[in-house]
Amino acid sequence: MAAPALRVIVDGENDKVYRKGDKITGRVILLVEEERPIESLKLVFAGSSITRTTRPLLVNGNTNNDTGRHDYEEKTRLFNREKEFVSNLVLEPKKHSWPFEFTFPELTEQRFKRLTHGANYLREPHALPPSFHLKTNVPGGTAQISYFLQARLVMSGSKDTKGCKHLLRYHPRPHVDVPREAKVISAVLYGQQWKPRKEVDEPKAPVSKGLSLRSSGKSPRIVPCFSHPESIAPGQHIPLSISLRNARDPTNEARGGCTLDSLSVTISTFSTVMCGHVLTQPEDIVSKHVTCITRTAMNKSLPFNGTKALTTNFRLIDDNECVPTFKTYNITRRYTLSVSIGIKYGSQHFTVRSSTPLEILPRIPRELPLEDGDEIEPLPLYTPREPSKEFAPDYESIYALSPTTSILSSTSNSLSPVGSRSSSLYSGGSSPSTVVSTPAE
């Protein structure tokens, strides 16, 4: 007896990316060739977070890789929706179809206790994480967040379950209105203030009467101030800038400054994968460091109290690696921005370093509305203009003036009259048309 054929068909494109609040519609199709009693037919719409890892087995208190490894696995349901189509029913031989409709929820549903999973486990409902897949550096270690539709068919008198699964791609929406330009914060790095030693061979600069001898005669005490964004979305420019202040000359009356010598920018990715319970909770951390900018011998002036932009068109590439920052029950993804700036004062060199968390926001949807104050400038209304005398003459005029008219008179009957010529605009030809046209009303 042939088993029924089961399929799940989702409306829309196969590679569609869903967001919270989006509807998923489609049909469950069951092709029955012979009359069969059906115990149940259900469709499950769910999200899951699955982590796997391994650890060496302990033999007599020692780790021995030759004895094998212990497997750890944890499966967490983010949410679960079910719809039942058939229950204890005999289906006749034909093609059966049932429509369905689900909506992506905003939050997860599970709640966990601290005693069950430990302090590092996210226990409360939270925003849905994006679809995610990662292989860790540990043998057999993986982390996967997936969303899917799964049809389950159970035949009467059988314990076997026939299933059909359809994966869905999910990407969260920005939780706040993302501005077109990233917001920048400034941090005064008092812990990295620097006092260069006085140059031995440095000639004394003439000091005007209006300048203080106290401020001009001593080496500056340089206090750096670094400006950077805390969060960024793919496609946005990442503005980085630095300013230096001389604590001994706050108004920079001496018009001093330094030289920007080098720049290095690195973005680091940290993925944390947990599985197990409070007593045996192995945790794997996968880190990746990408140096985005490396510049040396820049030799750019950096006066005190002035702000120097370090980047002009620095953007994240919107690819599979650019996963938004998220934290779910057993998987965490975070980023840091590390910047190293080389500064020269005379012949002396010092380095300003900064390492700050960087939140990567979900990509901005293309259908995002305009910001307040943005207006679309309409195109000017169409006004027909008079034909210009500079247009090229038509073919008949050139033919009438041609000295070879008598020679070609035998073929004149093969030429199309003026009224029968079709413009290339309508015939699909590649030659330009010289006829002035006006839009149809």
Range of 150's domain? 5-170
What pLDDT shows up at residue 34? Answer: 86
The CATH number of the domain holding residue 298 is 2.60.40
User: Would 319 be classed as within a structural domain?
Assistant: yes
User: Would 204 be classed as within a structural domain?
Assistant: no
What pLDDT shows up at residue 251? Answer: 85
The CA distance from 179 to 182, in Å, is 6
Three-state DSSP class for residue 270:
strand
The CA distance from 110 to 123, in Å, is 8
From residue 139, give the alpha-carbon distance in Å to each of 56, 144, 279, 288. 10, 16, 22, 18
Helices (H) and strands (E) in the chain, counts: 5, 23
123 with 239, same domain: the answer is no
List all residues 6 or more positions away from 86 whose beta carbon is below 8 Å from its beta carbon. Answer: 38, 40, 41
145 with 68, same domain: the answer is yes
What pLDDT shows up at residue 435? Answer: 36
192 with 66, same domain: the answer is no
159 with 221, same domain: the answer is no
User: Would 418 be classed as within a structural domain?
Assistant: no
How many residues would you count in the chain? 441
192 with 305, same domain: the answer is yes
What pLDDT shows up at residue 212? Answer: 44
Contact 358, 269 (CB under 8 A): no
245 with 137, same domain: the answer is no
Task: Tell the residue number behind the tokens 């880190």, with chain if given.
Answer: 287
The total of structural domains in the chain comes to 2
User: Would 396 be classed as within a structural domain?
Assistant: no
58 with 119, same domain: the answer is yes
- For the whole model, what pTM was predicted? 0.74
What pLDDT shows up at residue 243? Answer: 95
86 with 148, same domain: the answer is yes
The CATH number of the domain holding residue 59 is 2.60.40.640
148 with 228, same domain: the answer is no
Exposure class string for 84-94: b at 16+ Cβ within 10 A, else e? ebbeeeebeee
145 with 188, same domain: the answer is no
pLDDT in tens, the chain (441 residues): 567 889 999 998 888 999 999 999 999 999 988 888 889 999 999 999 999 999 888 766 565 555 688 889 999 999 999 999 988 888 888 899 999 999 999 999 887 766 666 666 777 889 999 999 999 999 999 999 999 999 999 988 777 788 999 999 999 987 666 677 888 999 999 999 988 887 655 545 444 444 444 445 578 899 999 999 999 988 889 999 999 999 888 888 888 899 999 999 999 999 999 886 656 678 899 999 999 999 999 999 999 999 999 999 999 887 777 899 999 998 999 999 999 999 999 889 999 999 999 999 988 765 544 444 444 455 555 566 665 555 555 555 555 555 544 444 444 444 444 444 433 333 333 333 333 333 344
82 with 29, same domain: the answer is yes
